Amino acid sequence: MAAARRPRAVGDDAKEARRVAILAAAKEVFAAKGYHATTVADVARSAGVSYGSVYWYFDSKDALFHALMDDQERALRSHIDEQVAGLPTGEDLFRRSVRATFEFFEADRDAVTLLFRDSLLLGNDFDRHLAGIYEGFIADIEKTIAVAQAAGYVIDAEPRVVAFSVAALIGQLALRR
């Protein structure tokens, strides 16, 4: 269902709100239709903006999808950071980090679709972008694992290997749910 047309965004706050609204609409449309079947017109209609307005904020459908991937990465990292803030190191930190990741994906099925379905099927530019996101996620998990290992709560193995194993498990479970 199309949203009502929004008035022109004037001022930095209004422009940022418009950009966020376009990203939110894009997330819903891409998740529902898939990347290839989605058009910029579909996103504009869902966001309640003109077709040209989408291009004011994003140079192309590819640029919009890349921005959406970045947005989802920030949302995931923010959620995890909020959930582990103030926790002592060790087992609690490791368990809460993994739990927070599962909770994020369970609560946001569209994020799972975008990060684990669509972005994997889109070619080299998206592969490189997703690899960068994944590497950041692996690095975060690796740090948490190293701390938990030092406290004796996680298997004594190469932290990066354990991080890849945990990330693969999370990805597979999120996608299959």
Instruction: Name the residue with tokens 């693969």.
Output: 168
What pLDDT score was predicted for residue 123? 66
Return the structure tokens found at 120: 């994997």
Residue 121 confidence (pLDDT) = 65
Low-confidence residues of the chain: pLDDT under 50: 1-2
pLDDT value for 43:
97
How far apart CA 127 and CA 22 sit, in angstroms, is: 23
**How much is the pLDDT for 84?**
85
| Contact (CB, 8 A) for 166 and 142 | no
Alpha carbon of 80 to those of 77, 136, 143, 147, 161: distances in Å?
5, 13, 14, 16, 21
Distance CA 47, CA 40 (A): 10
pLDDT in tens, 76-116: 889 988 988 887 666 677 788 888 888 888 899 888 888 77
CA dihedral 170, 171, 176, 177 (to 10 degrees): 50
What local confidence, expressed as pLDDT, does residue 26 receive? 96
Written as six digits, the tokens of 80 are 């995890």
Q: 156: exposed, middle or buried (C-beta count within 10 Å: 0-12, 13-18, 19+)?
A: exposed
Q: Over pLDDT 90: what percentage of the chain?
A: 31
